[in-house]
Amino acid sequence: MSNLVQQLVGKGVLEKEKAASLEFEIKSSGKREEEIILKKGITSEDFLFNLKAKSLKIPLKTDIVAEEIPLEVLESIPEDAAKHYRMIPLAKKDNLLEVGMIYPEDLNAEEALKFLARQGNFNYQTFLITPNVFNKALRQYRTLKGEVGRALEELKVEFKEEKVPKTAEEFERLAEEAPVTKIVAVILRHAVEGKASDIHIEPGKDRLRVRFRLLGQLHASLLLPMKAHPAIIARVKILSNLRIDETRVPQDGRFTANIDGKNIDFRVSTFPTTMGEKVALRVLDPEVGLKKFEELGMEARNFEVVKKAAQRPYGLILVTGPTGCGKSTTLYAVLQVLNKEGVNIITLEEPVEYFIEGINQSQIRPEIHYDFARGLRHVLRQDPDVIMVGEIRDEETAFLVSHAALTGHVVLSTLHTNDSLGGIPRMIDLGIKPYLIPPALSCIIAQRLVRKLCENCRKEVKAKKAIQDLILKEIENMPPKAKEKIKIKRPLTVFEPGGCNKCNKAGFSGRLAVFEVFEMTNQLSEIILKAPTVENLQQEAKRQGMVTMFQDGIIKALQGITTIEEVLRVAEER
């Protein structure tokens, strides 16, 4: 049995029966045991590499700030060698180079390091590092400003004697030149590696600004000379098959790029401003945007209600909330539960965000009169079992969606309302007859996104009195079942962001949703038919034991998943 597998069995992390099949997989795959163990999620990276450090008797180095590794230190080991042998220079003191290695036991890596030490005339000391630390340090060979800066130096040749391109043909030629291609490629790659959700390329009076949206907030990442603006915009348009010579009206497009061995989709939108064309790119990374239903973070009652609704032979599941609150992620998660060999799933989307194998996805095109209503009429002729409609915007779509749900189809869709209770009056406003809602509707999900605390550096602190009073009051109003599961510490504590290497000093790592789920019941059916007032709907929600979004956020804040400030922020959006 391999060393690490044996140690995991000894620590009680891995059962002996599972260890044997894991051992077989490691041998047959030809991959290293660390890769397989981490891929299967058997244990955390930190735990595994602490075991490895003790086994090899090599110190594990975790307190590394990748951004602080000087370029001259990185140059001690060429990037190709660093990638191939999974080793990286970390620091240099006099003639001693500190080298981080994922596999210090690899004899080939050791021989390569000895060769480089002779060539570079330096001594070295090796440390064990985790793959996460290695990947962050490896990116420093190609920093955003450094790479773009070098490309801009090459581009200056194109701007000699103020020869700025004027025609569409000149823009296209310049956009295909190596420096511009490189600048755009570097911006895309850094956005993906930094887990940005959007890229904004914005012209100003003197500078072209590039901003990345990280964890819901925009951050200025790069300033470029305005002379580069036409060529960069033209390059993005070429990739997206948009008209280069059209700068007066907005255009929408899409393209796919291979970044670090992964195919990433980019949704492109151009917009004319007084300073020139602005471009917004949505980064559609399947590893980030596609989640399993179990990974959404729903509490027990919400999870069971939605799961039951998805398993029904027909009925409408609505997801509500403002733009950018993760509605599509939730819909895709439910679709993946329903995506089975014997089920015909058809979607109508604007646009298609992620491509899922086994699902028939169609993008609506209003400019050619292919809208949700028209598309839905044709979808119903395709013998569907499950239908997803991107958004219910008008009376015709609302009518068709409700009738599809009544005639033996599971239908998923979205509405723009502040909370789940608002979905009922909104459906009535859209022209759906009240008597059609109870038999058609299964449940309404409302959600908002909050930033997740970094588990590595979050800090537990005593809550201020105002926060304590707010939390205790909200807990008192929670349904009994939800209240039973909450363990209140004395004194009451909450969590705050810290800041470490793992989260790039942000204190947060990723986002998750806070939910509320309103279920169709016999009592709700009577309310809709008689008096669907806000007060009556609230009473029914309470009777159902519905946990509100704010209460769901309070529970997650007490568990250390997010901060109370994040919960209050999204509560203000309602």
Q: Is the preceding omega at residue 104 within 30 degrees of 0, hence cis?
A: no
Domain boundary among 287, 316, 342: 287
Structure tokens at 258: 């291979």
Structure tokens at 99: 């080298």
Pairing assessment for the beta strands 262-273 and 251-259 based on DSSP bridges: antiparallel
Domain co-membership, 264 together with 344: no
| Helix H or strand E encompassing 125 | strand 123-128
Does residue 227 form part of some domain?
Answer: yes
pLDDT value for 161: 43
**Calpha distance 251→270 (Å, rounded):** 5
Which is it for the CA torsion 348, 351, 355, 356, positive or negative? Answer: negative
Domain co-membership, 282 together with 157: yes
Pairing assessment for the beta strands 441-453 and 315-320 based on DSSP bridges: parallel
Looking at the DSSP assignment, which residues form a beta bridge with residue 459?
Answer: 496
Amino acid letter, residue 306: V
Does residue 34 form part of some domain?
Answer: no
The tens place of each residue's pLDDT in the chain, 574 residues long, gives: 467 888 888 878 788 878 888 888 888 887 888 888 888 888 888 888 988 888 889 999 887 877 778 777 888 888 888 889 999 999 888 889 999 999 999 999 999 999 999 988 899 999 999 998 888 888 777 766 666 776 777 666 555 544 555 565 665 565 566 788 888 988 898 888 888 899 999 999 888 999 999 888 888 878 888 888 988 999 999 999 999 888 899 999 999 998 888 889 999 999 999 999 999 999 998 877 788 888 898 988 999 999 999 999 999 999 999 888 889 999 999 999 999 999 999 999 988 888 899 999 999 988 898 999 999 999 999 999 999 999 999 999 999 999 999 999 999 999 989 899 999 999 999 999 999 999 999 999 999 999 999 988 899 999 888 999 999 999 999 988 888 888 888 888 999 998 887 777 788 988 899 999 999 999 999 999 999 898 999 999 999 999 999 999 999 999 999 999 999 988 766 5
Residue ranges of alpha helices (H) inside 485-533 are 522-530
**Calpha distance 446→432 (Å, rounded):** 20
Structure tokens at 141: 């060979």
If one counts the domains in the chain, the total is 2
Residue from 124, 117, 174, 125 nearest 151 by CA:
174
CA-based radius of gyration for the chain: 27
**Calpha distance 397→399 (Å, rounded):** 5
Q: Is the preceding omega at residue 491 within 30 degrees of 0, hence cis?
A: yes
Which is it for the CA torsion 19, 24, 30, 36, positive or negative? Answer: negative
Domain hosting residue 212, numbered range: 143-287
Structure tokens at 159: 């701007």
Domain boundary among 242, 266, 287: 287
pTM: 0.72
| Helix H or strand E encompassing 67 | none
Does residue 493 form part of some domain?
Answer: no
**Calpha distance 539→519 (Å, rounded):** 13
- Alpha carbon 218 to its chain's center: 15
Amino acid letter, residue 353: E
Q: Running DSSP on this structure, what letter comes out for residue 293? A: G
Domain co-membership, 271 together with 370: no
Domain co-membership, 272 together with 420: no
Domain co-membership, 256 together with 329: no
Strands laid side by side in the 123-128 sheet: 87-93, 96-101, 123-128
Q: Running DSSP on this structure, what letter comes out for residue 142? A: G
Residue from 11, 16, 23, 20 nearest 47 by CA:
11
Look-up of token digits 């981080």: 100
Does residue 254 form part of some domain?
Answer: yes
The CATH code of the domain that includes 178 is: 3.30.450.90
Amino acid letter, residue 74: L
Whether 321 and 535 have beta carbons less than 8 Å apart is answered as no
Q: Which residues contact 488 (CB under 8 A, 6 or more apart)?
A: 472, 475, 558
- CB atoms inside a 10 Å sphere around CB 263: 11
Q: Running DSSP on this structure, what letter comes out for residue 60? A: B
Domain co-membership, 396 together with 346: yes
Domain co-membership, 298 together with 267: no
Amino acid letter, residue 418: N
Residue from 490, 478, 473, 338 nearest 412 by CA:
338
Does residue 483 form part of some domain?
Answer: no
**Calpha distance 544→538 (Å, rounded):** 10
Residue from 31, 1, 35 nearest 19 by CA:
1
Domain co-membership, 189 together with 303: no
pLDDT value for 162: 46
Q: Running DSSP on this structure, what letter comes out for residue 464? A: P
Amino acid letter, residue 553: G
Domain co-membership, 169 together with 246: yes
**Calpha distance 190→221 (Å, rounded):** 10
The CATH code of the domain that includes 368 is: 3.40.50.300
Does residue 445 form part of some domain?
Answer: yes
Q: What is the 3-state secondary structure (H, E, C) of 384-451?
A: CCEEEECCCCCHHHHHHHHHHHHCCCEEEEEECCCCCCCHHHHHHHCCCCHHHHHHHEEEEEEEEEEE
CA distances in angstroms from 391 to 45, 401, 408, listed in the order given:
40, 10, 20
Does residue 473 form part of some domain?
Answer: no
- CB atoms inside a 10 Å sphere around CB 69: 20
Domain co-membership, 328 together with 351: yes
Does residue 48 form part of some domain?
Answer: no
Domain co-membership, 213 together with 277: yes
Domain co-membership, 156 together with 267: yes
DSSP for 529-549, please give it: HH---HHHHHHHHHHHTPPPH
Domain boundary among 287, 316, 350: 287
